[in-house]
């Protein structure tokens, strides 16, 4: 069985993340989307909200699990899950340089876990969670941000902007 792990903070989930997940489930028999939780990082959405967003936006994918992990190296988490692959996205040259270095560190720690890189299409390549959150607020932001996130995430961003916690 080919099992892959795709990890990130997903704060919030973007169409770029969804593109990666949908391609990953076609590559692997089982795909795990692992939401990383770093206690030193401040998140906009709680881990429970991020899990809910991912599960809602990927409910159509039967060979997918959404999990969380914290305070460990991704390669160790992959090994604990019996995954032989880590899936990573490359949007630009800086991503490539960082991911190339991490791939070698991961290989030192777990030589049997391979890293697979995917490059998203141009129209979503520049989209990041940080960019999406930075676009929220100015007049007309809804039209812009709505292009870059799944509907379930867009509803949460509307509620977040309005200061509500419920959707």
By the 8 A CB rule, do 113 and 85 touch? yes
Residue with the two structure tokens 């977040």? 160
For residue 24, the model assigns a pLDDT of 97
Catalytic, 101? Answer no
DSSP state of 11: T
For residue 165, the model assigns a pLDDT of 54
For residue 133, the model assigns a pLDDT of 92
DSSP state of 28: S
Helix, strand or coil, per DSSP, at residue 112: coil
Sheet holding 30-37, edge to edge: 64-70, 30-37, 3-8, 85-89, 114-118
Which CATH number belongs to the domain containing residue 90 in this structure? Answer: 3.40.50.620
78 part of a folded domain: yes
For residue 151, the model assigns a pLDDT of 94
Catalytic, 128? Answer no
Catalytic, 46? Answer no
- Counting the structural domains of the chain, the total is 1
Kindly state the helix (H) or strand (E) to which residue 117 belongs, with its residue range: strand 114-118
166 part of a folded domain: no
For residue 40, the model assigns a pLDDT of 81
pTM of the model: 0.92
167 part of a folded domain: no
Range of the domain at 48: 3-161
For residue 34, the model assigns a pLDDT of 98
Annotated catalytic residue: which of 3, 55, 91, 133? Answer: 91
What's the distance, Cα to Cα, between the start and end of the chain in Å?
Answer: 38
In the chain, what's the furthest Cα-to-Cα distance? 50
Annotated catalytic residue: which of 88, 103, 129, 156? Answer: 129
> What string of pLDDT tens digits covers the 167 residues of the chain?
999 999 999 999 999 999 999 999 999 999 999 999 888 888 999 999 999 999 999 999 999 999 999 989 999 999 999 999 999 999 989 999 999 999 999 999 999 999 999 999 998 888 899 999 999 989 999 999 999 999 999 999 999 888 865 54
């Amino acid at each position: 069985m080919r099992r892959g792990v795709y990890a990130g903070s997903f704060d919030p989930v973007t169409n770029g993340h969804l593109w990666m997940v949908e391609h990953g489930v076609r590559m692997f028999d089982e795909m795990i989307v692992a939401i990383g939780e770093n206690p030193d990082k401040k998140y906009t959405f709680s881990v429970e909200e991020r899990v809910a967003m991912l599960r809602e936006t990927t409910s159509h994918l039967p060979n997918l699990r959404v999990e969380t992990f914290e305070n460990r190296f991704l390669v160790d988490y992959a090994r604990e899950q019996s995954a032989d692959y880590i899936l990573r996205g490359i949007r630009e040259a800086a991503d490539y340089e960082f991911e190339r270095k991490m791939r070698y560190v991961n290989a030192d720690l777990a030589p049997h876990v391979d890293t697979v890189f995917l490059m998203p299409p141009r129209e979503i390549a520049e989209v990041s969670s940080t960019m999406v959150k930075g676009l929220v607020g100015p007049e007309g932001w809804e039209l812009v941000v709505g292009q870059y996130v799944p509907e379930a995430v867009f509803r949460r961003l509307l509620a977040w902007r309005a200061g509500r916690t419920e959707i």
